[in-house]
Amino acid sequence: MGGADIERLIALLARLPGLGPRSARRAALALLRQPQARMLPLAQAMEQAARSVRTCSTCGNLDTRDPCAICTDPGRDRGVVCVVETVGDLWALERAGVHRGVYQVLGGTLSALAGTGPDDLNLAPLLARLEAGGVREVILALGATVEGAATTHWLQDRLVGFDVPVSRVGQGLPMGGALDVLDDGTLAAALTARKIHS
C-alpha cells in the first residue's frame, strides 16, 4: 500500500510512545503530503539533535553542552540538588519553575522486576558533589510508585553519612503517579511541602 519506504516510515513512527499503528499512518500521510515543508525539516531536526545532544556528566540532563545549561547557570543554587528519575521529570519541574537549584537524574529506579540495582543508577556524580562540599540540601523527587518509594528509602539510607539534610517531596503526589504527567500546581505543592528526612 504505497511501497516499502512508506511501510518502513509507518513502522518506525508506530514505535514512538503515544503513536499506535493508526495514528502512525495518519502522521505518515501528513508528512508525505508535505515532504518539503514538513517531512524534511523534521528529519533534519532529528539528525541535528542526534548529533548535538549529549548527557550532562554532572547531572544526567540532556543538552547540547556538557555540563548542561542548568549546571552552568550562575543564577541557580548549586547547594540544593533535586534528585529525579528521568530527564522527563527534570523537564516537568523546569516547566513548573519551582526549583531554583540543580538536579541529579538517576536514570531509573531500583526495581527487582526490571533488574535495576544500585549500580544501574546514575548516582556517582551526586556522591562526588556531596564529597566536594557545598551541597546544603538534597531533595528526593522520585515518583510515588512502589519502585520510586523503595528508591527514596534506599537513597535516604545511602546519603545519611554525608551530614546533609535530605528532604523528599511528599504532599501532592497522587499515589501511583509518575512525576512528569502532573500539572505544574501539583508539582509546586509537592516541592513546597517537602519533608526533611535527616
Task: Give the footprint of Zn ion on this chain (CB under 5 A).
Answer: 56, 58-59, 61, 67-68, 71
Reading the block at residue 75, the C-alpha cell is 543564577
DSSP H helical segments within the chain, as ranges? 4-14, 21-33, 40-52, 69-72, 87-96, 124-132, 146-158, 184-192
In this structure, the strands spanning 137-140 and 77-84 are parallel
Choice from 57, 73, 77, 94 touching its own copies (CB under 8 A): 94
Nearer to its own copies, 83 or 164 (CB): 83
CA angle 35, 38, 43 (to 5 degrees): 85
Site string for its own copies, 95-134 (x = CB under 8 A): x---------------------------------------
How far is 12 from 149, CA to CA, in rounded Å?
34
Counting residues that bind its own copies (by CB under 8 A) gives: 58
Stretch of residues binding its own copies (CB under 8 A), selected from 44-52, 98-106, 117-125, 139-147: 44-52
Distance in Å, CB of 12 to its own copies, minimum: 5
| 175 contacts 144 by C-beta, under 8 angstroms | yes
Torsion angle (degrees, nearest 10) of CA 55, 58, 64, 69: 140
Instruction: Copy the grid coordinates of residue 186.
Output: 501539583
CA 120 to chain centre: 15
Q: How many CB atoms lie within 10 A of CB 111?
A: 16
For its own copies, what does the binding mask look like between residues 133 and 162, x meaning CB under 8 A?
A: ------------------------------
Task: Look at residue 59 and give the partner it binds from its own copies, Zn ion, none, a contact being a CB closer than 5 to 8 Å depending on partner kind.
Answer: Zn ion
Q: Pick one of 57, 64, 171, 192: the residue that binds its own copies (CB under 8 A).
A: 64
**Stretch 178-197 residues interacting with its own copies (CB under 8 A):** 180-181
Binding site for its own copies (CB under 8 A): 1-6, 8-9, 12-13, 15-19, 22-23, 25-32, 35-36, 38-50, 52-53, 61-65, 68-69, 86-88, 90-91, 94-95, 180-181
